[in-house]
Amino acid sequence: MLGKGFSEAEIAELRQTISQTEPKTNKTVWLVPDDEKFSLGMKVKAMASAGMLLPGLIAERVKASLRDEVGLVKGKDLEKVEGGIFGF
């Protein structure tokens, strides 16, 4: 999971470097922030709590991305999970 401190070019460089050193990374799930998935309600909650709720909101976004985009759910066979870059 990467934070906002990485540009798209840096993420591409990280992925390339890792794939060269570890060829089995085609199943690696890369999670990067996606501002479009941070709803207005989440922004209001984060600002109203002076940022105290932000870690929980981020965790909700990550769980939703893993479930909805990656297909990673408890009890499901991990062999069918595909790697790639996904927003959270």
Check residue 45 and give its pLDDT: 85
Give the start-to-end residue ranges of the domains of the chain.
8-87
pTM for the whole structure: 0.69
Residue 76's CB is within 10 A of a number of other CB atoms, namely: 11
pLDDT digits (tens, 9 = 90+) for 34-57: 888 888 888 888 888 887 888 898
Q: How far apart are CA 78 and CA 41, in angstroms?
A: 32
Query: What average pLDDT is seen over the chain?
Result: 83
What one-character-per-residue DSSP string does 51-81 give? TTTHHHHHHHHHHHHIIIII---TTS-GGG-
